[in-house]
């Protein structure tokens, strides 16, 4: 099987390494395409060429995936897939521009350097080519999570947009503290802040531009900041019920929580 991978960044390179196929990379950055091809033993393709491939994979930023599908769909002989991270728009563009081809959207739920891991999968129109690709990914130790475009994109509002907004807000708001004053919860948040801020800013910007979720975090923070003690207790109980159920919320009201001395109880 020969596969054209459009996008020679970390995710496109991961895909080229993870499948059992002859791969070629096309990218607006020719040096990046050459580096990816050298790493996986593939070739470099012309981004604006017309040479057909059995499978075309779009590994471009999520804000550009629909345009890339429109430009590259005609080069796919059998199948078109994407690993952009947003599914509904990608699947709609695939159906529009490649209605007779196999169509699958993938979202690896991990950074490439942490592979293997869980991969969200929507088989919009499956067939032998995409079945072979998915089997190769499973053989590499990845777990395929079958889903739908709406379910995936709805989940990403919390899993990515809201989560990143909360961690980045902490990273911006937090001030340095004297050594020894750390609490366990603070240390965990500090670790998350360091992890998130070691990434690529454009990726996080694309996620916020694509998925809702940050506004809900901002609204919740504003509610906490404006709450009086009784209102804050009510917000705490609401949060506890969301994560632990009503029984836990009732217990939080009746039992000491380890926070009365100023600690965070963890």
Please report, in tens digits, the pLDDT of each residue of the chain (266 residues total): 999 999 999 999 999 999 999 999 999 999 999 999 999 999 999 999 999 999 999 999 999 999 999 999 999 999 999 999 999 999 999 999 999 999 999 999 998 999 999 999 999 999 999 999 999 999 999 999 999 999 999 999 999 999 999 999 999 999 999 999 999 999 999 999 999 999 999 999 999 999 999 999 999 999 999 999 999 999 999 999 999 985 544 555 554 444 433 444 44
Rounded to the nearest angstrom, the gap between the alpha carbon of residue 64 and the centroid of all alpha carbons in its chain is 15
Q: What is the pLDDT of residue 263?
A: 41
Measured in degrees and rounded to the nearest 5, phi and psi for residue 7 equal: 120, 110
Which is nearest to 243 in space by CA: 158, 136, 150, 160? 158
Q: How far apart are CA 120 and CA 248, in angstroms?
A: 32
CB atoms within 10 A of CB 110: 14
Task: Provide the residue count of the chain.
Answer: 266
Helix 88-97 vs helix 149-156: angle between axes, to the nearest 10 degrees? 150
In the chain the domains, ranked by start, together with CATH numbers, are 2-147 (3.40.50.720), 152-226 (no CATH)
Tokens of 157: 């509002």
DSSP one-letter code for 112: G
Q: Is the peptide bond before 116 cis (omega within 30 degrees of 0)?
A: yes
From the list 83, 96, 86, the residue with the least C-alpha distance to 19 is 83
Distance, CA of 121 to CA of 237 (rounded, Å): 36
Q: What pLDDT is attached to residue 245?
A: 80
Question: Which tokens is 149 given?
Answer: 């475009």
């Amino acid at each position: 099987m020969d596969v054209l991978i459009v996008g020679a960044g970390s995710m496109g390179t991961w895909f080229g390494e993870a499948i059992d196929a002859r791969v070629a990379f096309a990218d607006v950055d020719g040096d990046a395409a050459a580096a990816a091809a050298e790493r996986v033993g593939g070739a470099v393709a012309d981004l604006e060429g017309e040479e057909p491939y059995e499978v075309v994979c779009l590994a471009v930023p999520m804000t550009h995936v629909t345009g890339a599908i429109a430009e590259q769909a005609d080069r796919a002989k059998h199948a078109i897939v994407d690993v952009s991270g947003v599914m509904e728009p990608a699947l709609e563009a695939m159906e529009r521009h490649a209605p007779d081809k196999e169509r699958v959207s993938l979202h690896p739920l991990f950074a490439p350097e942490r592979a293997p891991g869980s991969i969200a999968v929507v088989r919009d129109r499956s067939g032998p080519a995409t079945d072979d690709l998915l089997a190769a990914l499973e053989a590499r130790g990845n777990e395929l999570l079958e889903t739908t475009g709406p379910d995936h994109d709805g989940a990403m509002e919390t899993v990515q947009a809201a989560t990143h907004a909360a961690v980045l807000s902490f990273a911006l708001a937090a001030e340095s503290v004297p050594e020894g004053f750390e609490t366990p919860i603070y240390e965990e948040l500090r670790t998350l802040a360091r992890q998130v801020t070691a990434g690529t800013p454009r990726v996080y910007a694309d996620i916020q531009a694509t998925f809702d979720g940050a506004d809900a975090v901002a609204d919740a923070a504003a509610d906490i900041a404006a709450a009086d003690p009784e209102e804050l207790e009510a917000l705490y109980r609401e949060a506890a019920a969301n994560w632990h159920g009503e029984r836990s919320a009732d217990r939080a009201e009746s039992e000491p929580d380890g926070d009365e001395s100023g600690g965070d109880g963890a």
